[in-house]
Amino acid sequence: MYDDLDGDGARQTAVLRKVRTEGVETAYETALAICKDPKAPAQARAIASRTIFQLAGMLNKPEPETPKEPSEMTAEELEQSRQAFIRKRDLMRGLSGNSQRSTGAEDKGLFG
């Protein structure tokens, strides 16, 4: 279709830019209009609703990463986990009215 192979990359970039701006806006406006149209078939409204959720990034979110088991952690990760535990513990003690706070010097470790 095009003889100018060097210009294809620029053309493709321009088209993708339009799709990501004008195309997404048009898709959103169209989907919203279908959702609001009481005469639109239920299936069309459901598909339009899903499209809006997809555009908003609310579908197919990656699952949150599950924390590693201690046996899978490096020494540095174990220490970071221990420090995070101490901070949470101290925060909870403060919220419960117990003013006793632990410092690194007093702390005998996770099991100590």
Distance of CA 69 to the CA centre of its chain: 23
pLDDT tens for each residue of 13-55: 999 999 888 988 998 899 999 999 999 999 999 999 998 888 8
pLDDT at 105 (0 to 100): 53
pLDDT at 47 (0 to 100): 93
Q: List the chain domain ranges.
A: 5-55, 65-112
Q: How far is CA 89 from CA 57, 79, 100, in A?
A: 35, 15, 11
CB of 94 within 8 A of CB of 101?
yes
Residue with the two structure tokens 């010097």: 105
pLDDT tens for each residue of 64-110: 777 888 899 899 999 999 999 999 988 888 776 554 544 555 556 65
